[in-house]
Structures are given as C-alpha cells and as structure tokens.
A = this chain, B = another copy of it.
Amino acid sequence: MNALEKLHKKNTFKKFICIGLDTDVDKMPDSLKSHSHPVFEFNREIINATKDYAAAYKFNFAFYEKDGTSGFQTLLNSIRLIPEDILIIGDAKRGDIGNTSKMYAKSVFEHFKCDAITINPYMGEDSVKPFLEFSDKLNFILALTSNPGANDIEKLSLEDGSFLYQKVIDNVKSWNKNNNCGIVFGATKSDELKDNLNRIASLPILLPGIGAQGGSLEEIIGILKNRKPTNFLINVSRGIIYKSKSNDFAEAARAEILSYNNRIIELFN
C-alpha cells in the first residue's frame, strides 16, 4: 500500500486525525520521567492507546534531534511501533540543493521508513525533486503555515497580486508528476483555506494548528466538508498527547482522538 492509498483508506474509515508526536520529557507525567527511555515509553503508550483511531502519526524530528544520537534511536524505535497500514509522516521540513535533498530523502524515507515528509519549498524545484522521485511516498510541501510568521514571507504580495503561498501551491501542482505531492496549510488560516480551495484542487492537505495553536475544528470541517475526495489530515499534537499530565495520559489521549473523530463525523452530517 503506497502512502496515498494509506491516506485514502483511513479517510474512508472516517479517521481524519493525525497525532503529532512532539514528545517532550518536560511535559510528560512525573512517573515516566524516571523511566530509562521516557520518550519511547510515552510514545509506546500513546500509540497503543490510539492506533485504532488515528489516520496517521506525525513525528516532529526536532524533538528527537535535540538529543542527538539517542534521540534518533528513540525516533527509529518509536516509528517501528506504528502498524503497517497507518501513514507515518516525518515532519522534518527539509529542503536543500539537489544532491543534499537526495540525502535527506534517504534519511526520512529509507532510514526512518516514513511514508511521508514535510518539505520547505524556499529553494525551489530542484530542492524538492529528489523527494518526489520516491513515487510511493507523500510529500507535504509548506504552503501557508499556522504560525504568526506566516505573514512575514509566505503572505508577501507578488507583482501579479497573488500571495507567495499561492504561487507555491501552483508550483506544487506543476511538480506533481508522480501524484505524490500534498501541501501543508495551517488550520489557523481558515479564511485563506476557504479562498484557495479551487487553487488547491485535489492536492492532499495536512492541516496543523488545531488545539494548542488555536485553530477551530468546526471552521475547518465546515470548509472541507464538500470537498471530494476527502484527502486531508488534521494534525493535533499537544492537544492530544498532553491532554492529561497524569498517569492516565494515554487513556486521555484515546478519549480525545475519539472525541475529535466523533465531532468530525457529526460536522460532516
């Protein structure tokens, strides 16, 4: 099953939530902190509790890289816990000159065996292309991100009156020869999402920003509910994995993703 098939299959089963494993020792229950591998143990419990309800898991590479070699080992060990039929996104936001992007693609797709990656498009087509050559993977390219700084560069107005991020979306469509591109669009930017549905067309959308960053699930589903195919993923990281800071964190995460799924199904009806 390639990455796009994994995404579509999950959506067919009414699973739309991607759980972001931005795992941080400082935010987990005290009882886990004394564990020999607290981040792995936290991830293991979260994944076990939520794997029947998650459409995807997104690993934020930064939270593992900060611990260097041991962090990378934890990342690899955690990725290995994800069931075969669930999409794994390497949230690495990579992008460099061609021969370097090729090495990043080897890292995320071959070494860490992720199904998908997030890519920064600033350096242009030849920086993105080595990722796109992995035709069975999914490449979510940053369009309009969820953070305040999205206004600084991504929302600059171009000479033809469009915004930079809109040009990026057009570029992504032209780069999508292998039908393995998607975009990242911040769930905090619902007005812009609404205005760009035609432009995005059938590109899969990864939407971070619900929960801790303030995006509204109701607004986003209201905009996406008439879109077919429903090839989108709503990412929630802190809002699910740190729903409880006590020993019941895994149960609380399960209850939270179930609640998200139920709210989405209601909003679709």
Determine the interface band of chain A, counting residues with CB < 8 A from chain B.
Answer: 35 or more
Q: Do A154 and B123 form a contact, CB below 8 Å, given A145-B97, A164-B164?
A: yes
State in angstroms the CA–CA spacing of A126 and B98 once bound together: 27
A150 at interface by CB-CB < 8 Å: yes
**Contact call A164/B157, Cβ cutoff below 8 A:** no
Contacts of A62 in B (CB 8 A): 94, 96, 100-101, 103-104, 107
The B-contacting residues of A in range 163-179, CB under 8 angstroms, are 164, 167-168, 171
**Contact call B107/A123, Cβ cutoff below 8 A:** no
The B-contacting residues of A in range 103-151, CB under 8 angstroms, are 103-104, 106-107, 110-112, 120-128, 142, 145-151
Contacts of A103 in B (CB 8 A): 60, 62-63, 65-66
What string of 1s and 0s marks CB contacts (under 8 Å) between A147-162 and chain B?
A: 1111111101111010
Number of copies: 2
Q: How far is the CB of A124 from chain B (nearest CB, A)?
A: 2
State in angstroms the CA–CA spacing of A94 and B122 once bound together: 12
Task: Pull 13 A–B residue pairs with CB atoms less than 8 Å apart, ordered by A.
Answer: A22-B100, A62-B104, A66-B104, A66-B111, A69-B76, A93-B94, A120-B123, A121-B152, A123-B153, A126-B149, A157-B158, A159-B159, A159-B161
Taking Cβ atoms with an 8 Å cutoff, the residues of A that contact B are 22, 60, 62-63, 65-69, 71-73, 76, 93-101, 103-104, 106-107, 110-112, 120-128, 142, 145-154, 156-159, 161, 164, 167-168, 171, 213
